[in-house]
Amino acid sequence: MRAERMARGATPLYEMTLAQARAADLADIRAAGGDPEPVFEVTDATFPGPAGELPVRLYRPSADRPLPTLVYFFGGGWTLGGIDTSDGVCRALANAAGCLVVTPGYRLAPEHPFPAATDDCLTALGWVAENADALGADPARVAVGGDSAGGNLAAVVALQARDRGLPLAAQLLVYPNTCYRADTESLRDNDDRWMFNHHSVDWYWRNYLPDPEAGRDPRVSPLLAPDLSGLPPALVITAEYDPLRDEGERYAERMRAAGVAVELTRYDGMAHGFFTMSGSLADARRALDQAARYLRETLWR
């Protein structure tokens, strides 16, 4: 990945205009993701968000109803991405886990800073629960998941769902942001210009959180939540060469200490973003297979 970016003379996303960064991010993901898997049924729709209609895409692996369901939040630092960003991942998980995958579009920063994304994602989870019959979803077997900022949103939504009495069966957290301005070894050490680095992290946080004081809010930093007990079981995936590695692993350790069943896997040799690169990285395929296996074990039992 690093060699490819160097060979292209690629400008870091944080040095591009917003429009350029959004286009480049999607192009990179599509190039590394390989050919999209065919799925039995893929449907684009909308759902009523807190400030208007928002896009949502549903991936149904079979005609069976109701199906266990994964609500998956795409990554992109709350700044980049959309439902197309996670298309390859959602297709693979729907097929391999045998579950309905629902990926909502949420409002992006800096146009819509915190708490817009968290509000939209929690609303999306409620929409799935309220419309389970129409969607062919089993409301008793719903998981949340996401990668990077999407992993942050999944962790935050899981905390809010617990506090509101909304049942969740599992969490899939792939290299999640869990703490605003975390001071960790992995953040300091992973400073390669050609990769996701601390400059990237700072840029995303500035876009998402204009008020640094809000960084203490558990809806921003789930690692700072005073109580993590009562959360659903979680699979946490991290990457060795990722600025977010340590905060993701600390969150897994804190959940485990609070009595949550946690499976934690670090993919050595991998960098941030690898989960979406199954078309070019064998470990990305292995991570997707692990995630699908975990979802089968937690949602189908």
- The residues carrying an active-site annotation are 148, 242, 272
Beta bridge partners of 249: none
Contact indicator for 187, 242 with CB cutoff of 8 Å: no
Q: Which pair of tokens denotes residue 48?
A: 């009523």
d(CA 240, CA 237): 10
Q: Measuring CA to CA, which residue among 178, 181, 179 is closest to residue 203?
A: 181
d(CA 23, CA 26): 5
Strand 67-73 to 137-147 pairing: parallel
Contact indicator for 172, 235 with CB cutoff of 8 Å: yes
Largest alpha-carbon pair distance within the chain? 51
Strand segments (E) across the chain: 41-49, 52-60, 67-73, 100-104, 137-147, 170-174, 234-241, 262-271
Q: Which pair of tokens denotes residue 283?
A: 């470990």
